[in-house]
Homo-oligomer: A and B are copies of this chain.
Amino acid sequence: MDTVTEEQWRAWDAFHAMRRQLDRALDQSLQEGVSLSAAEYETLIALGRTPDRRLRVTELARAMGWEKSRVSHLIGRMEKRGLIARRSCATDARGAWVVATFDGRRAALRAMRGHNRALQDCVFEVLSDEETAELGRLSSKMLAALDRARTIPTETGLRSEEQ
């Protein structure tokens, strides 16, 4: 049964449009002070969350579900901007530690204010606690299905040339 109902389309359209607008708003919220991209912001936050304030490129990539090369390019640009620095790794000369600079930490802190306020304005103040919880629950449910589809790659994956 491949038919999608009217109601399903309506829900999907709203969801789709909301995602677009929310991304816009959140990106904008990171433009105060030293303007950061969403990727830069998440990187700095990830570094801040870590016990010794440093991560290997690969760890960073795994933590965010990004490609290593993406992180490498990103880190390169951020280093040039003075937001992070690379420190050579004592135990493994192949890799390097990524650490936030003072300026990087400061930019992240400043950005966090705007970002949290945007989250508050666009999500948490708009939805009741129950609705927020429900959104989380639905997201988790979809996430589980998506992970399942990714590990058992027949779901939406390659489907050969039948008509």
| Residue ranges of A at the interface with B (Cβ–Cβ < 8 Å) | 2, 4-5, 7-8, 10-12, 14-15, 17-22, 24-25, 28-29, 32, 65, 114, 116-127, 129, 131-143, 145-147, 149-150, 155-159
A60 to nearest B CB, angstroms? Answer: 15
Q: Find out whether the CB atom of B117 lies under 8 angstroms from the CB atom of A22.
A: no
A105 to nearest B CB, angstroms? Answer: 17
Q: Find out whether the CB atom of B117 lies under 8 angstroms from the CB atom of A156.
A: yes
Q: Which residues of B contact A127 (CB under 8 A)?
A: 138, 141-142
**A18's contact among B118, B139, B150, by CB below 8 Å, is which?**
B139
A55 to nearest B CB, angstroms? Answer: 18
11 contacts between A and B (CB under 8 A): A4-B120, A7-B136, A8-B124, A14-B137, A18-B139, A18-B142, A25-B150, A29-B156, A123-B142, A134-B138, A135-B135
